[in-house]
Amino acid sequence: MMTRALQLFEVDAQLRNVPAVAVRGEVDIAAVPALELALDGAIRESVGGFVLDLHEIRFMDCSGLRLILRARALLAREDRALAIVCTPGPIRRLFTETGIEDLLSLFASPEEATAAPLSTG
């Protein structure tokens, strides 16, 4: 099952010299364990604001939403901000329809997210 998950998504750490994880592909219950390890490691090994780039995600289920909220909570414990790159489309609609859009700092592009002052306020 883990092999399947690794084939469905890819992760890059670092985005324009800002601590980040960029994810491509599909984020579902099969992919979340491996993605959670990558995200936790990237958060632990960095300081300051953090960017989660989802603009190349094709599909995400509720387990992906849980992972995002968990990452947000981990960062908040250290007064660190989470910026999420998410273009208009199905993934952003998922945030809106589940009522979590207002909890997240969403940006339309990696450039916007890395240029924004990442504060927790």
Residue 51 lies in a domain: yes
CA-wise closest residue to 66 among 44, 35, 43: 35
Number of domains in the chain: 1
Residue 24 lies in a domain: yes
CATH code where residue 80 lies? 3.30.750.24
Residue 120 lies in a domain: no
Specify the residue for token string 């790159």. Answer: 85
Residue 73 lies in a domain: yes
CA-wise closest residue to 104 among 67, 61, 68: 68
Residue 6 lies in a domain: yes
Range of the domain at 59: 2-115
The strand pairing partners of 82, in sequence order, are 50
Residue 50 lies in a domain: yes
Residue 121 lies in a domain: no
Residue 36 confidence (pLDDT): 94
* pLDDT tens per residue, range 9-62: 666 665 667 888 989 889 999 999 999 999 999 999 999 999 999 999 999 999
Calculate mean pLDDT across residues 81-88. 95
Query: Is this prediction's pTM over 0.75?
Result: yes
